[in-house]
Structure 1
Amino acid sequence: VPAVTEMLFALGAGHRVVGVSSFDRFPPEVANIQKVGALLDPDLERILSLQPDLVVLYHTQSDLRKQLERAKVPAYAYSHAGLRDVTATLRSVGNRIGIAARAAKLATDIESRIDAIRRVSALGPRPRTLIVFGRENYTLRGIYASGGQGFVHDMVTAAGGQNVFADMKREAVQATTELILARRPEIILELRADPIGLDEEKKELAVWWQLASVPAVANRRVHIIADPRTVIPGPRVVEGIEVIAAAIKRQP
């Protein structure tokens, strides 16, 4: 789980990590740690071969959790339904590995920094913002956007944006172009975990120009943010919010 891996390293416990998901990229040290699959394809045999004292998994991985219970391997299932769950998970993980005080200090620091960003954001306008975290390449088909619940929604709200789908109380909305036209976002933010080249970015931005009547498109306030800090609910979440806030304030 990339988010929890980052937490463990931020807490100075990276040397205790024996296995990570195939999607873990940060910090660089994870490149040398055994990969044990991912959310949908965990490798139980490899996990057990590492003889872990604790396995941290996502709460939806119920089959894996049952298998670990049968093997008598302690497991902790976490969730990140909202921004507050980031620091809650940080504290819980710290408690479970015996560094509760260190985890509490880091969690409190993160919460204080987020509150400071919120106070600054509250002083300015809150533009109607569409937050996209998935679609088919080079087309506006298969758009998935943030609904009014979840980690991404909370980040953008803290950064000063007003989610155009805030009234849809779920984490993800399948957004058609007709729905986007009706919601009339003033800013469109595409969040991506992986880097994107300049030429590819230009091509991906160009597909939005067909929605010329949307204020964000008409005013050229469509931004691709290729930064894992904006999509991983870990200890770098404050930096992610700052990146989003800068994009919201950016003028064409």
Structure 2
Amino acid sequence: GDYGYPRRTIFLVAFGAGQMNTPGNKQLLMSSSKQFWLVVTFFLFTTVSPLNAQAGFSRRIVSIVPAVTEMLFAIGASDQVVGVSSFAEYPNEVNSRPRVGALLDPNIERILSLRPDLVVMHESQTDAIGQMRRGGIEVFLYRHGSIANITDMLRQLGQRTGQTTKAMTVAKQIETTLQSIRTRVSNYRKPRVLLVLGREPNTIRNVYASGGIGFLNDMIIAAGGVNVFAHIQSEAVRPNAEGILAASPDVIIEIRAEGLVPDNRMTGDPSIWDTLPAIPAVQKDRVYFLAGSDLIVPGPRVAKATERFAKTLHPVAFKSR
């Protein structure tokens, strides 16, 4: 359609586990606690259709996706952000912005009351999309992407917000850091990695792991590992115990956002994997738990998060020389 500036444009930014290609996923998500919902929802990333640079700079932006909120703050567009997701936590400045719901519960009235001129909506939000279109409001839809989409989006947001130079700098820094990591680990054997995104507490049931597409799979590769489920073309897979045994990972990494798993649970959890003693990762005591929203939010901290993976997989490569 016409993306001219006089028209009111709304971008409702969202990503989440509701789009995972896994059996029974919808039922699990709807019945899960907020903690588990956060673990699974933060890791999916989507990429927007190309923005029209002629549309003018956006001055009032509503971002329902924490990843995009981080991008906007990183490129110097924080003053242009007028509303954020209920789940946005980083940077700390987001706490001064109004909350407008999230993927499953966008508060349309609240969004409209903020008079935004930029929002991005996920294609799964059909009801909200309909409301916007019936009101004559344009909607840009997102689709799933990879690390390359993160830097592409940074550059696109820079154009849209008038922060082109800063956005290009941030994107280039990410790409440079990732290449440096790849080079640093290139001479080491690539371990087979099981990256666990979530599971039932205190048991190895309902395991969700990274599949062969998406930014998390890209991070494993850049960090010098081989995803044991790289052959499955999905952002997430739900293997049973037999599938995990057959995958035979050399390293198991479980990731969590801060606050979702208490510290005492994090330190005690490795013993749970002892129920699968035939796994090389268990035999070699290479089961790790990493916490931090940088690990699950596909935003400007992705290079630093990848370095955390690399230091876990190849600690020798990062020892002081």
Q: Fold-level match, TM-score > 0.5?
A: yes
Which ranges of structure 2 fall in alignment gaps of 5 or more residues? 1-64, 317-321
Match of 2:171 among 101, 107, 128: 107
Tell me which residue corresponds to 2:70: 6
Map 1:1-252 onto structure 2 (within 5 A): 1-195=65-259, 196-250=261-315
The alpha-carbon deviation at position 68 of structure 1 amounts to 2.4
AA aligned to 1:245 is: A
SS in 2 for 1:191: strand
Q: Give the conservation status (yes or no) of the 8 Å contact 1:78–1:89.
A: no
TM normalised by structure 1 equals 0.94
CA distance in 2, matches of 1:191, 1:208: 15
Aligned residue for 1:12, secondary structure, equals coil
Aligned partners of 1:120 and 1:250: how far apart in 2?
11
How many residue pairs get matched? 251
- Partner SS state of residue 136, structure 1: coil
Gap regions ≥5 residues in structure 1: none
Q: 1:139–1:207: 8 Å Cα contact kept in structure 2?
A: yes
| Structure-1 separation of matches of 2:153 and 2:177 | 17
Distance across 2 between alignment mates of 1:139 and 1:232: 25
Deviation at 1:59, TM superposition (A): 4.3
* One-letter amino acid of the counterpart of residue 14, structure 1: S
CA shift in 2, pair 1:97/1:59, >3 Å: farther
Which contiguous aligned blocks of 4+ residues in structure 1 show a shift greater than 6 angstroms?
none
Q: How far is the alpha carbon of 1:69 from its aligned partner?
A: 3.1
Q: Which amino acid aligns with 1:56?
A: V
Taking structure 2 as the reference length, the TM-score comes to 0.74
Output the CA distance in 1 between the equivalents of 2:314 and 2:182: 14
Percent of aligned pairs with the same amino acid: 44
Contact 1:56 1:78 in 2 (8 A): yes
TM-superposed CA distance for 1:246, in Å, is 1.1
Question: How far did residue 167 of structure 1 move?
Answer: 0.9
- Tell me how large the CA RMSD over aligned residues is: 1.7
1:47 CA drift (Å)? 0.6
Distance 1:238 1:41, change over 3 A: same
Structure 1 window deviating more from structure 2 (125-134 vs 50-59): it is 50-59
CA distance in 1, matches of 2:74, 2:173: 12
